[in-house]
């Protein structure tokens, strides 16, 4: 697959699966062995394959039902796609046992996806988890 095709596949992850809650798209764009390497994953991780993506989206859409991702930029080389993104949402549901705060947050991050035969095989995510907790009021702001 071309880098442009890989970028388009990765955009679907954010714009269709997350924004539109179209979990069925995960079966189309993730390999059966898909793995998400997120340092903030719950204990035990998210699972493997398209189900991992469905678990991730369900976790965050339960906590932030109005979550919306914006793809701010992408760079691709070979089988890797780096995406800079921003997510916004209002915390009206529980997140890993934390009660809802009803606060709105804006979180940014960068994810790198490795594609294989037109599908996403792995994700490495780095995002502002601490900033999200501070915006939710469950972690004090620095200084």
Query: Where in the chain are the domains?
Result: 3-136
Residue tagged 């993104």 (tokens) = 85
Q: Report which of 110, 118, 119 is spatially closest to residue 38, judged by C-alpha positions.
A: 110
CB-based contact 72:84 (threshold 8 Å) = yes
In a 13 Å sphere around the CA of 76, the CA atoms on its Cβ side amount to 18
For the entire predicted model, the pTM comes to 0.93
Question: What is the model's pLDDT at position 43?
Answer: 79
Residue 12, helix vs strand vs coil: helix
The total number of residues shown for the chain amounts to 143
Q: Hey, what CATH class is 3-136 in?
A: alpha beta
Question: What is the model's pLDDT at position 40?
Answer: 86
Compute the distance between CA of residue 81 and CA of residue 85 in angstroms, rounded to an integer. Answer: 12
Question: What is the model's pLDDT at position 96?
Answer: 85
Question: What is the model's pLDDT at position 2?
Answer: 94
* pLDDT one digit per residue (tens) for the chain, 143 residues: 899 999 999 999 999 999 999 999 999 999 999 999 998 888 788 999 999 999 999 999 999 999 999 999 999 999 999 999 999 999 999 998 899 999 999 999 999 999 999 999 999 999 999 999 999 999 887 76
CB-based contact 89:66 (threshold 8 Å) = yes
Compute the distance between CA of residue 134 and CA of residue 97 in angstroms, rounded to an integer. Answer: 17
């Amino acid at each position: 697959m071309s880098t442009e095709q890989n970028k388009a596949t990765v955009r679907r992850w954010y714009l269709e699966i997350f924004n539109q809650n179209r979990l069925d798209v995960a079966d189309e764009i993730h390999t059966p062995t898909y793995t998400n390497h997120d340092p903030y994953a719950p204990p035990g991780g998210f699972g493997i394959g398209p189900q991992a993506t469905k678990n991730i989206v369900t976790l965050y859409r339960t906590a932030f039902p109005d979550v919306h991702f914006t793809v701010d930029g992408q760079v691709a080389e070979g089988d890797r796609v780096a995406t800079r993104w921003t997510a916004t949402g209002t915390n009206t549901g529980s997140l890993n046992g934390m009660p809802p705060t009803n606060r709105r947050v804006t979180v940014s991050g960068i994810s790198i996806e490795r594609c294989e035969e037109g599908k996403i095989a792995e994700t490495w995510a780095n995002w502002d988890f601490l900033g999200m907790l501070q915006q939710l009021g469950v972690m004090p702001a620095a200084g």
